[in-house]
Structure 1
Amino acid sequence: MSPGELIGFLALAFAAAYAQTLTGFAFGLITMGGVGLTGLLSLPDAAMIVSVLTLVNATQMLLKGWRDVAWREFAFVMAASVPLLFAGYWLLEWLADARADMLRLVLGAVIIASSLQLAMRPAPLAQKSGGASFLFFGGIAGLMGGMFSTAGPPLVYHFYRQPLALATIRETLVGVFALNAVFRIGLVAFSGNLPGPSTLTGLFAIPAVMAATFAARRWPPPIAPQVMRRIVFVLLFLSGVSLGVPAVLRLLGVH
């Protein structure tokens, strides 16, 4: 990346980490959406960098919040998430080889669907869901995480319906994202697809992510959480449309 591109990526990572720390989700969606729109990196390389940055953000949050993790639900989610993470990564590699527009269309569709889901207020449940439901949503999250390092939306929807404390929901989600990132980084390294030195300059965003996490905890914005969710929804929806529509037009041969 050129110096200008690196600065742009640092700003994008800072904004994404700030939003994730406040809401418990959206880091991967915001970062991948921004990368897809700007073309700063290839999507597979961006997903790798996002995995590393997600791990940094999550580790920083869990240093204080790990006691709030709902370990039973965490275990069910990970049992289904890890195998399908491998499937999602394979699908990313298959699409990235010669189907760039299809890959951008899939990413755009994922972001749009995720933004619409985040805009809804899921009805709270009277009692916790059974283990099978956490396996199901964990599997979807693993597939999305393997493709784009964006495992959040299905888990956010499911967890925020549970009769659990908000701190428990947030820290459990962050724990899932952290372990998924570890597996995904290991998979990329094992398959020999580590980004080149120029792309790895994106790891200079680690201090930006750490600073954003600290700033969001120390100086949260003076707005209600619902307003923050609406802001994230609008940004994600617009980025998803901006990614998906041009890809559809190119696939249809419309210039």
Structure 2
Amino acid sequence: MNLTEIIGFVLMAGAAAYVQTLTGFAFGLLLMGAVGISSVMPLRDAAVIVGVLTLFNAGIMLTKGWRDVLLPRLVLVLWSSLPMLVVGYFLLDHLASNSLLMLRIVLGVVIVVSSLPLIKPPSRDTAPQSKRSYLFFGALSGIMSGLFSASGPPLVYHFHRSSFSYVAIRETLVSVFALNALIRLAVVIGDGTFPAPSYWPSLLAVFSVMAGTQLARRLPPPLSPVAMRWMVFVLLCGSGLSLALPALVTILK
């Protein structure tokens, strides 16, 4: 990476962290979408860097909030997400090695679909959610984590339908993200596909992630929650379509 690409990635990571702090998710999706559009690095390497940044950010958050984690739900989610994470990782490896255009289409579709709950957030349900539902959404989360280090959307949707407190939901989700990122990093190292040293300067984005998180807490935009959700929806849809449509046109030619 040259200096311009490093600066660009660091700024994109800070912006994604800012949005995530306001909305509760979208860090990985926004950053992967921005990388896909700008081509500052290969998507496979970007997923590793995003995972490291997610692990770092989650570690900071959990130093104070780990006591609020919903442990039984966390175990259920991990039971299905961790095996599917490995499946998602090797699917990414296959697509990155054999069809980069298809990889861009998959990422674009995932981003667009994941943005849809922003239009109509899930309504809370006082009835207890079944164990199978946690296993199902955990599996979806694991696949997305393995593919793009973006395990949030399925679980954010599912947990926010529950009657648990916002703090408990947030800390449980952060715990899932951290553990998924840690296991994915172990798989990457074991598979020998950690990014080349030329991409390591992108890890400087830990500072912009910290700055973006603090900025969102202290200086949120003067927008209503509804307007904020629509803005993020447009950002996600725009990036997803920008990735998927050109690749789809090229394949269909």
Q: TM-score range by the shorter chain?
A: over 0.9
Q: 2:178 corresponds to which residue?
A: 178
1:56 Cα deviation after fit:
1.2
Q: 2:237 corresponds to which residue?
A: 237
1:169 Cα deviation after fit:
1.5
Task: Measure the CA separation in 2 of the matches of 1:173 and 1:18.
Answer: 18
Deviates more, 1:63-72 or 1:220-229: 220-229
Q: 1:217 corresponds to which residue?
A: 217
Q: 1:31 corresponds to which residue?
A: 31
Q: Deviations over 1:170-220 (max 9, x none)?
A: 221111111100001111001000111111111011111122222223333
Q: 1:111 corresponds to which residue?
A: 111
The alignment partner of 1:188 has SS state of: helix
Whether the 8 Å contact between 1:82 and 1:180 is mirrored in structure 2 is yes
Deviates more, 1:79-88 or 1:54-63: 54-63
Deviates more, 1:236-245 or 1:113-122: 113-122
The alignment partner of 1:124 has SS state of: coil
1:37 Cα deviation after fit:
0.5
TM-score by length of 1: 0.95
Amino acid at match of 1:116: L
Deviates more, 1:121-130 or 1:198-207: 121-130
Task: Measure the CA separation in 1 of the matches of 2:168 and 2:237.
Answer: 28
1:168 Cα deviation after fit:
1.6
Whether the 8 Å contact between 1:57 and 1:213 is mirrored in structure 2 is no
The answer to whether structure 1 residue 18 and structure 2 residue 15 are counterparts is: no
What are the equivalent positions in structure 2 for 1:53-64 lying under 5 Å apart?
A: 53-64=53-64
Task: Measure the CA separation in 1 of the matches of 2:227 and 2:192.
Answer: 42
Relative to structure 1, the CA distance from residue 147 to residue 200 in structure 2 (aligned partners, 3 Å threshold; closer, same or farther) is same
* Equivalent pairs, count: 253
Q: 2:120 corresponds to which residue?
A: 120
What are the equivalent positions in structure 2 for 1:69-218 lying under 5 Å apart?
A: 69-218=69-218
The alignment partner of 2:156 has SS state of: helix
Q: 1:227 corresponds to which residue?
A: 227
Query: Aligned-residue CA RMSD in angstroms?
Result: 1.2
Amino acid at match of 2:228: M
1:90 Cα deviation after fit:
0.4
Which 4+ runs in 1 deviate beyond 6 A? Answer: none
Amino acid at match of 1:248: L
Q: Which runs of 5+ in 2 are unaligned?
A: none
Q: Deviations over 1:30-77 (max 9, x none)?
A: 000000110011000000000000111111111222222211111111
Relative to structure 1, the CA distance from residue 58 to residue 226 in structure 2 (aligned partners, 3 Å threshold; closer, same or farther) is farther
Task: Measure the CA separation in 1 of the matches of 2:206 and 2:214.
Answer: 12
Task: Measure the CA separation in 2 of the matches of 1:231 and 1:64.
Answer: 30
The answer to whether structure 1 residue 65 and structure 2 residue 65 are counterparts is: yes
Task: Measure the CA separation in 2 of the matches of 1:224 and 1:70.
Answer: 30
Amino acid at match of 1:38: S
Task: Measure the CA separation in 1 of the matches of 2:132 and 2:33.
Answer: 31
1:118 Cα deviation after fit:
2.8
The alignment partner of 1:76 has SS state of: helix
Whether the 8 Å contact between 1:78 and 1:138 is mirrored in structure 2 is yes
TM-score by length of 2: 0.96
Amino acid at match of 2:180: N
The alignment partner of 1:75 has SS state of: helix
1:109 Cα deviation after fit:
0.5
